[in-house]
Amino acid sequence: MASYEKSAADHRRKWDREEYERLASERLKAEQLCQLDKNLKEPPVKRALLQPRDYRVDLESKLGKSMVITKTTPASQQGGYYCNVCDCVVKDSINFLDHINGKKHQRNLGMSMRVERSSLDQVKKRFEMNKRKQEDKKKEYDFEERMKELREEEEKQKAYRRERKRAGKKRADEDYEPGDPDMAAVMGFSGFGTGKK
């Protein structure tokens, strides 16, 4: 294969342009064929539209707890927040929320980041529903009635505490056994500080 020529008068190499142009065009044709094959083999992935979460994100269950972590501890039981969909551990709650709302996590769930486009009727129904909810809340909230309930609850708590105190005193009186008077005299006092004599 003679890709260059050397003449006796010129010490520089002379490259064969036609040969290199032919090789480049063959390479481009091969790449185009390969791209067409890929497009034919792999149909585009149809992902579901983004949907609201149907579960509550648990951020407080491990809060304030300590645990022993060794080299052999599985990732799901290590410190931090574990994502079982992506099989990763995130160290704090803010980054965990960013992760579960992010593109990579949603892709692993089989969802695209596109939201369903709402129609005018759906938006109107949603406004009506929110309006009804707010009216119901206004009807339910009555300040005087709420204060009355709080006072009753307070009275119940006070009565409960009084009963517990009385029951504790009764038990203490029943459990009282006078000590040995000789021992008390040796120790230098007449009783053990109870009200009964």
Banded model confidence at residue 130, pLDDT cuts 50, 70, 90:
very high
Is pLDDT larger for residue 136 or for residue 192? 136
- Cross-strand partners of 88: 83
Predicted pLDDT at 145: 81
pLDDT at position 16 is 86
Collect all residues with Cβ–Cβ distance below 8 Å to 156 and sequence separation of at least 6. none
Using 50, 70 and 90 to split pLDDT, how confident is the model at 123? very high
Q: What is the pLDDT of residue 43?
A: 67
Predicted confidence (pLDDT) per residue in 65-112, tens digit: 888 888 888 888 888 899 989 999 998 899 999 999 999 999 999 888
Mean pLDDT value across the chain: 83
Note the pLDDT of residue 37: 73
| Two tokens, residue 110 | 């089989």
* pLDDT at res. 112: 86
DSSP class of 102: S
Q: Does residue 156 have a pLDDT over 70?
A: yes
Range picked from 43-47, 55-59, 151-155 for highest mean pLDDT: 151-155
> What is the full DSSP assignment across 20-64?
HHHHHHHHHHHHHHHHHHHHHHSPPP-PEEE---SS----STTTT
Cβ-proximal residues to 112 (8 Å cutoff; 6+ apart), any chain: 47, 48, 49, 50, 106
% of the chain residues with pLDDT over 90:
32
- The domain spans of the chain are 75-109, 120-175
How far, in Å, CA of 54 to CA of 58, rounded? 13
